[in-house]
């Protein structure tokens, strides 16, 4: 089984959960952006 076939099989299996996968990826990106651009706690 090639790597391409494996990826296709994984994508087929997660199809019912694609909303949750997409939502988790978006939230992970938001978390990274906020971590990079938010101030570092208390600034005196």
Each of the 44 residues of the chain gets a pLDDT tens digit; together they read 899 999 999 999 999 999 999 999 999 999 999 888 876 665 55
Residues 6 or more apart from 21 whose CB is under 8 A from it? 14
Residue 22 lies in a domain: yes
Joined tokens for residue 38? 């938010």
In a domain, 15, yes or no: yes
Answer yes or no: pTM beyond 0.85.
no
What is the count of structural domains for the chain?
Answer: 1
- Domain that includes residue 9, residue range: 3-32
How many Cα atoms within 13 Å fall on the side-chain side of residue 16? Answer: 1
């Amino acid at each position: 089984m090639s790597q391409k076939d494996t990826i296709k099989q994984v994508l087929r299996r997660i199809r019912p959960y694609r909303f949750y996968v997409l939502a988790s990826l978006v939230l992970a990106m938001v978390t990274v952006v906020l971590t990079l651009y938010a101030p570092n706690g208390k600034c005196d």
